[in-house]
Amino acid sequence: MSAGKYNTEIEKGATFKRTITYKDGTDTPVDLFGASIRMQIRDNYTSETAAISIDTSSGGISIDEPENGIFTIELTPAETESLDFRQGVYDIEIEYTEGTVERVLEGRVKIKPQVTQ
């Protein structure tokens, strides 16, 4: 299955939190038991280093209801403050227990500057 496309906005200096329910092509939740999830944000596709790199093992992503395909992504205000570009790209990958890796979501991310500093 191809990755879903979703463009989003991140407010610089604010907490960014999104809860995602991952479902297959028949609208059935994908079982995430034992899976690991990772996400990276880069200023462009060819950037050598990620501006943000989070996953389920080191933090930033939690699997809330594995049987229902529900997970949450959360960036701290310090992490969003560190984003020093106006627009970038991201993707989210799931690695299942048998080693299969699936890119489930990708898109552009717009960084909205803050006034209050």
Q: pLDDT tens digits, the chain, 117 residues: what are they?
A: 688 999 999 999 999 999 999 999 899 999 999 999 999 999 999 999 999 999 999 999 999 999 999 999 999 999 999 999 999 999 999 999 999 999 999 999 999 999 887
Give the H/E segment covering residue 79: helix 77-81
Q: Which residues lie across from 21 on neighbouring strands?
A: 70
pLDDT of residue 86: 95
Give the H/E segment covering residue 65: strand 61-65
Q: What does the block give as tokens for 78?
A: 């310090």
Report if pTM > 0.75: yes
Residues 6+ apart with CB under 8 A from 12: 80, 81, 83, 111, 112, 113, 114
Helix or strand or coil: residue 64? strand
State how far the Cα of 53 lies from the Cα of 50, in Å rounded to an integer: 6
Q: What does the block give as tokens for 57?
A: 């093992």
pLDDT of residue 23: 95
State how far the Cα of 75 lies from the Cα of 49, in Å rounded to an integer: 18
Domains in the chain, ordered, with CATH? 4-112 (2.60.40.10)
